[in-house]
Structure 1
Amino acid sequence: MKLRGVNMATDTGVTYETKTIRAVRGMESRTIKKWEADGWEFVSQSPGKVQVEITFRRPRPKSGRLLWIIGGGVVVLVLAIIVTIGLVSEKNTAPAKSANPTSSEATASTSGQPSAETTASAASRSSTRDGEVLTPENSPEFATVLALTDSCSPDIAAFAAAHRGRTIEFSGSIAAMAPHGNAKTRYDILINAGDAASAPGPAFQFRDENTLNDLHWVGPVPDTIGVGTNLGITAEVDRYEDRSCLLLLEPVATAVR
């Protein structure tokens, strides 16, 4: 992603800033929709072999510096008020709290041990996170993400951030496949959830992977794979890219369905 032409002026006197986005071929409409929702106006697109350069523009703010200065002053004033109120409140309540401790506070200071409810809650959270593979069946959150019709939805970015490093498992299919850069045996593989090319859910991608070794095949290793190949995917969540609307995965185990 790059900015250019930030001082471009029109006959109406409006100055525009422009932005050029690179998107995987086949993802142009999703990318255009995402940036138009953020207030950018589509200008043009230039297709390449693997990626498409899409240019957007929007009016350049005239008084950004003034707004920044005013906003900064308001923030400083609010922080000063909060600090003052906090100091006054602490000064007024500290003696009473010291003189009349609650029974729960007294118990905690005497025993030095967490309550049974706290221990049980922590154990429950640990058992639901450690070593569990997320699937649409055991994770309503993952099932909801797989049902989204917008691959640029902020819900996908939130899911990726919350579960980075976790392992997920789902049925998918190859929607697009192209060499990674100038490599001969390494590929960028676009994966949809489900069997159809137009299936809902995130635009998953295996990036810079060797199809023989890096996909960690389970069961028979196929002679070839390509667009339309149905796969059983087990992978680790890497990260979500805002500019391309891609959710990057690291393969853990792959099987042909």
Structure 2
Amino acid sequence: MPDDVKYEYKSVQAVRGLENRSIAKAQKEGGWELVDQTQGTLRTTLYFRRVKSETLLSKAWDAFRGLAPVKQRALAVAAAVVLVFAAVGIGIAAAQNKGDTSAENTATKSSKPEHAKQTPTPSPTPTPSEPTDQVITAENNNELAALLNVGDDCDPALATFAAKYQGRKIEFDGSIANMQHHEMYNTRYDILLAPGNAGPNTGVGPAFKFENVNMFDLNLTGKNIPSNVTEGDKFRFTAKVGSYNPKQCLFFLNPPPQSGRPNCIEHVSGHP
């Protein structure tokens, strides 16, 4: 009967502009169905449900709840007695095992030579350090390559990468996932960037963010430089690693200063 269907519920915080990514992930990994959402300033709360699976334990609990109170009390007492006997048995077995282990250790210790020769542990070979002025790309840095393909924008690896490479330049192919006016200025923007060319429909990678920037800050370059950018536009981004906010699951980037074409954001497509 449809009225007998039982659901379980959960809520997920998604970065505003990347809701589709969180919805697709919940549907694919857990069969969750979106039932509602509440949009906040920075994040959107998504509410999901799915049919609650019937397990042996849940069936037993339902059967127990259907018994008369007298039978419930009787079963509870019987279960308590079984648990007591089980605990006593486990304690006795643990004590016997401890005694056997102690005897074995004593015998092993007595048979070991007093002046056994110790083999020195070789020191690890030092690895050459990476030049700090080198622009990090997926081609020359395995950590960035892995980072651009994480399936969760709250992955702990994001904080680790940000702490290790803060202030360093990274470069990757990406697109604009979301773009909004900054809360205090109409001519400045908060821009979410995503790896790849899927824009708002991006399914992997961090939620990179340029915060409180204008068009001049982006230092656009290329054959056809647009006067404005919008969601879905594709770029070859070059930026400095900022900080990672684990509560917001946002990875902040800083547009590099205007010091020549290599430091600019190259426009790929999106505008004629």
Question: What TM bracket, shorter-length normalisation?
Answer: 0.5 to 0.7
For residues 139-193 of structure 1, what are the alpha-carbon distances to aligned partners after superposition, in whole Å with 9 as ceiling and x for unaligned? 0111011111111111111111111111100011001000110311100000110
Question: Could you tell me how far 1:29 is from its partner in structure 2?
Answer: 6.7
CA distance in 2, matches of 1:199, 1:23: 13
Which of 193, 196, 214 is equivalent to 2:195? 193
Which of 215, 218, 242 is equivalent to 2:218? 215
Which of 184, 200, 208 is equivalent to 1:204? 208
Q: Which amino acid aligns with 2:133?
A: G
- Structure 2: give runs of 5+ residues left out of the alignment: 1-11, 27-35, 48-122, 257-263
Q: Is the 8 A contact 1:174 1:189 kept in 2?
A: yes
Which of 231, 246, 249 is equivalent to 2:253? 249
CA distance in 2, matches of 1:199, 1:53: 18
Q: Is the 8 A contact 1:172 1:195 kept in 2?
A: yes
Q: Is the 8 A contact 1:21 1:243 kept in 2?
A: no
Alignment of 1:28-43 (within 5 A): 30=22
TM-score normalised by structure 1 residue count = 0.55
CA distance in 2, matches of 1:226, 1:28: 18
CA distance in 1, matches of 2:252, 2:219: 17
Question: Could you tell me how far 1:238 is from its partner in structure 2?
Answer: 0.3
CA distance in 1, matches of 2:146, 2:206: 11
Residue 47 (str. 1) matches residue 39 (str. 2): yes
Alignment of 1:96-115 (within 5 A): none
CA distance in 2, matches of 1:256, 1:135: 17
Which residue in the other structure is 1:83 paired with? none
- Structure 1: give runs of 5+ residues left out of the alignment: 1-19, 35-43, 56-116
Secondary structure in structure 2 of the residue aligned to 1:134: coil
Alignment of 1:1-257 (within 5 A): 23-27=15-19, 30=22, 46-48=38-40, 51-52=43-44, 121=126, 124-125=128-129, 128-197=130-199, 198-211=202-215, 213-219=216-222, 220-252=224-256, 253-257=264-268
Q: Is the 8 A contact 2:21 2:203 kept in 1?
A: no
Question: Could you tell me how far 1:250 is from its partner in structure 2?
Answer: 0.2
Aligned residues: 167
Residue identity over aligned pairs, in percent, reads 34
Task: From the superposition, tell whether residues 185 and 157 of structure 1 become closer, same or farther in structure 2 (CA, over 3 Å).
Answer: same
Q: Which amino acid aligns with 1:139?
A: N
Question: Could you tell me how far 1:46 is from its partner in structure 2?
Answer: 2.7
Which of the two has greater strand per residue?
1
Question: Could you tell me how far 1:53 is from its partner in structure 2?
Answer: 5.6
Q: Is the 8 A contact 1:24 1:244 kept in 2?
A: no
Q: Is the 8 A contact 1:206 1:248 kept in 2?
A: yes
The CA RMSD measured in Å over matched residues stands at 3.4
Q: Which amino acid aligns with 1:180?
A: H
Q: Which amino acid aligns with 1:176?
A: N
CA distance in 2, matches of 1:195, 1:156: 21
Secondary structure in structure 2 of the residue aligned to 1:136: coil
Task: From the superposition, tell whether residues 29 and 168 of structure 1 become closer, same or farther in structure 2 (CA, over 3 Å).
Answer: closer
Q: Is the 8 A contact 1:172 1:191 kept in 2?
A: yes
Task: From the superposition, tell whether residues 251 and 244 of structure 1 become closer, same or farther in structure 2 (CA, over 3 Å).
Answer: same
Question: Could you tell me how far 1:134 is from its partner in structure 2?
Answer: 0.4
For residues 99-141 of structure 1, what are the alpha-carbon distances to aligned partners after superposition, in whole Å with 9 as ceiling and x for unaligned? xxxxxxxxxxxxxxxxxx99x958x31xx13211100000011
